[in-house]
Amino acid sequence: MNFKDKKIIITGATGGIGHSLVKKFCDSGGKILATGTKTEKLEKLKNEFSSIEIEQFKLNEHENIEKFIETAVNRLGGLDILVNNAGITLDNLSIRLTEENWKKVLDLNLTSTFLMCKFAIKKMLKNKSGKIVNITSIVGHTGNLGQANYSASKAGIVAFSKSLAIEYAKKNININCVSPGFIKTEMTDKINDEIKKMLISKIPSGDLGNGEDVSNCVAFLASDMANYINGETIHVNGGMYMA
């Protein structure tokens, strides 16, 4: 897949999946602006991939998202592809889950992703083309113990992505989702061995996935090979959930 001269924004770029996304698009010739909340991690990413642009930004600052898209587009010289990968978890059993932590997860995972799409689409309409790939999660389809807020946010991404896909299909803008299962990241590294063993027992492939499994799928959906795929969710989970 060739992304030479394609202008790409990647959110959540400093995490495990984010790093794989940056590498995949860099290796394929893309012109990337990577964003995250931690300057130190962004600088480390820049040192590894010298060709990328970086921008520290807090996606929960909704009032600044339009300005962020404007800045990113100016720095890149346009916008062809948006990958919404950023997300947080604040887990707890529903009876103990505070309204504040419900709202924090929905605000960042769901509302921020919607607003990023909204303002990116405005730019893509001028180009008369564009690709958006939103990263959701297996738990948005299955639910998960202690993750009512996270599951709701990821399910919401799938639903609004379908609506946007219908709205802008005739404008040559494709919006799709990738739904990872349990992937080897800093987040899954924190899971204790007993729970990890239980999770792996439910995966037919018998192992956790890696970031490249996800980035390969994202790159496909962002490429010209997926021009006739729209409003879809591709699951990357080793067979743990089969839609």
- The active-site residue out of 150, 168, 228, 241 is 150
Query: What is the crossing angle of helices 148-168 and 112-127, to 10°?
Result: 20
Residue 98's Cβ-side half-sphere holds a number of Cα atoms within 13 Å equal to: 4
Burial (Cβ within 10 Å: 0-12, 13-18, ≥19) of residue 100: exposed
**Strand pairing partners for 92?**
147
* Alpha carbon distance, N-terminus to C-terminus of the chain: 27
**Strand pairing partners for 147?**
92
Best CA proximity match to 102, nearest among 154, 147, 159: 147
CA 145 to chain centre: 22
CA 95 to chain centre: 29
Catalytic status, residue 228 = no
Rounded to the nearest 10 degrees, how much is the dihedral formed by the CA atoms of 80, 222, 163, 172? 50
User: Quick check: 180 and 204 in contact, CB under 8 A?
Assistant: no
The catalytic residue positions are: 150
